[in-house]
Structure 1
Amino acid sequence: MSGLVTWQTIELPNSEPCCHIQLQAPRANALEPGLLAELHRAFNALDQSDVQKALISGGRNFSTGGDVGRFAKAARDGQIESYTAQVVPVLQGLVLRMVEMPVVLASAIRGAATGGSAGLVFASDLVVSAPDAFVQPYYGVVGFAPDGGWTALLPDLIGGANASGWIMANHRKGSEQLKGLGLVQAVDPDPETRAAKLIADIDTGTALATKSLFWDDKRRAVVKTRLEAETEAFRALIGRPETLTKMKEFLQHGG
């Protein structure tokens, strides 16, 4: 473990084991190559264990998504294609793993869950948010195409019109709005404790059967194809001069 992500087995209130995966990287857990690689290592460790429940949490901000500053630097240095390859398909792989894992995954979110990091929320089986938590796409602001499942997962969760309008209008959805959409199951000042209680209270067999039936082979294959399409769309837009201009403007305004 590098310290960007930590994982350990904890005991739930009902004494069941649970893998607690914590994002604790600088710059508000921005999705850069090191953090994404560590998240895959955490999932590898979970795969190799017999633990069937996991909790994902961040710090004051769950994650602010892709590091626009690093994308902009890579563009200026002529390295945008290689940097994108270290971030976007790796994130897409994480989202797909979450859907496919025979593990009940809960996320506890505080503050921002923006850009591609929202995919970790969309792919979770259960979510508890702090009152200050919010999800916002930001794609149009910086000229990126959606990734992380905004078009691969979200339409099936809240409807195509709701998902498309949210991305295009760049709306910020707070905790109560997220709960109203069914993306969050509870709002609590201590989301980590509430999420642990929530997954402790559900029957593991029922939860895993539900997940398996919901994410059957056909639906997983569709999601995989859609995630790959997101990656290609991201690659098509990231190298545009206007995208670099938008990134510079975003960074100049404190983004």
Structure 2
Amino acid sequence: MQGLILTQVDGPVATIVLNRPERHNSLVPELLRDLLTALEKVADARAVVLAAEGRSFSTGGDVRAFAERDGDALRDYANELVGLLGETMLAIMRLPAPVIAAVHGMVTGGSLGLLLASDIVLIHPSVTIAPWYTTVGFAPDGGWTALLPYRIGASRAAVVQYTNTPIDAETAVAWGLATRVESDVRRAAAELARTIAGQRPGAVRATKRLINGDLDAIAARLDAEREAFVRQITTPEAREGMTAFLSRAAR
């Protein structure tokens, strides 16, 4: 039986694949813990590709998993999930090797954090990125406030989140959220990873550290997102939003 995360090492290049396609690779604690383990295992790689199976890269936190819980159980689950997502993002950024995200299909909610934490993002023309927070009634996580405003500008980040406006592939590149559009993102990511792996490894690692900057400051902003998410998740509007969202999804 295959796990939630698949890992392959080909010489100096490692590939990590999200493998929960029946649920659009939505994020649950088990998947994130397995992803953290995979990142530890590829620490010696010179370049890493992060990809996903199925129709979507990832649709963020599994709303059904939230809706099945209430009270303290819901708060504890939200705290664990968003905390693990923050840990995963920081692990990607702290990994010595550059991480190239090969993205296709839908990217919603907290799964944007996997793109924001990656060093390079290649996206398929089919990609749509959407927050859903103000629609479902959640507070943002996954770097939507901790990292996105610094990447695309505060005004753009605000409008997208306040109005739940999707970002298409061309816009993502124009705004600096992605590197370029590729019709075969897995192949393009693998080729780029091999090119990076052929460079001087010490220089590559130093470049990544300098580009990422102060990770402690990023960790603090991600922790603020976690606290806000946990506070908001048990409000009546979040419960109403989850019920409405799941009702639409069942049609």
Bin for the TM-score computed over the shorter chain:
over 0.9
Amino acid at match of 2:9: T
1:57 aligned onto 2:51: yes
1:229 aligned onto 2:224: yes
1:135 aligned onto 2:129: yes
Q: Is the 8 A contact 2:39 2:95 kept in 1?
A: no
- 1:143-187 residue CA offsets vs partner (Å, 9 max, x unmatched): 111101111111221112221222112111111111111222121
Count of residues in Structure 1 that have an aligned counterpart in Structure 2: 245
CA–CA distance in structure 2, aligned partners of residues 43 and 242 of structure 1: 36
SS at match of 1:29: coil
1:9 aligned onto 2:9: yes
Map of 1:98-247 to 2, 5 A cutoff?
98-202=92-196, 203=199, 204-216=201-213, 219-247=214-242
Tell me the residue number matched to 1:14.
none
Amino acid at match of 1:5: I
CA–CA distance in structure 1, aligned partners of residues 226 and 88 of structure 2: 13
CA–CA distance in structure 1, aligned partners of residues 222 and 2 of structure 2: 28
SS at match of 2:24: helix
The structural deviation recorded for 1:198 is 1.9
CA–CA distance in structure 2, aligned partners of residues 98 and 138 of structure 1: 24
Q: Is the 8 A contact 1:10 1:19 kept in 2?
A: yes
The structural deviation recorded for 1:200 is 2.5
Q: Is the 8 A contact 2:13 2:194 kept in 1?
A: no
CA–CA distance in structure 1, aligned partners of residues 72 and 231 of structure 2: 15
CA–CA distance in structure 1, aligned partners of residues 189 and 175 of structure 2: 18
SS at match of 1:163: helix
CA–CA distance in structure 2, aligned partners of residues 206 and 132 of structure 1: 34
Residue identity (%): 37
TM-score, L = length of structure 2: 0.92
CA–CA distance in structure 1, aligned partners of residues 40 and 113 of structure 2: 19
Q: Is the 8 A contact 1:5 1:24 kept in 2?
A: yes
Tell me the residue number matched to 2:76.
82
Question: Which stretches in structure 2 are left out of the alignment for 5+ residues?
Answer: none
Question: Which stretches in structure 1 are left out of the alignment for 5+ residues?
Answer: 12-16
TM-score, L = length of structure 1: 0.91
Tell me the residue number matched to 1:95.
89
Q: Is the 8 A contact 1:2 1:38 kept in 2?
A: no
The structural deviation recorded for 1:209 is 2.5
Change (3 A) 1:207 1:167: farther
The structural deviation recorded for 1:102 is 1.3
RMSD: 1.6
CA–CA distance in structure 2, aligned partners of residues 71 and 42 of structure 1: 25
SS at match of 1:74: coil
Moved over 4 A (4+): none
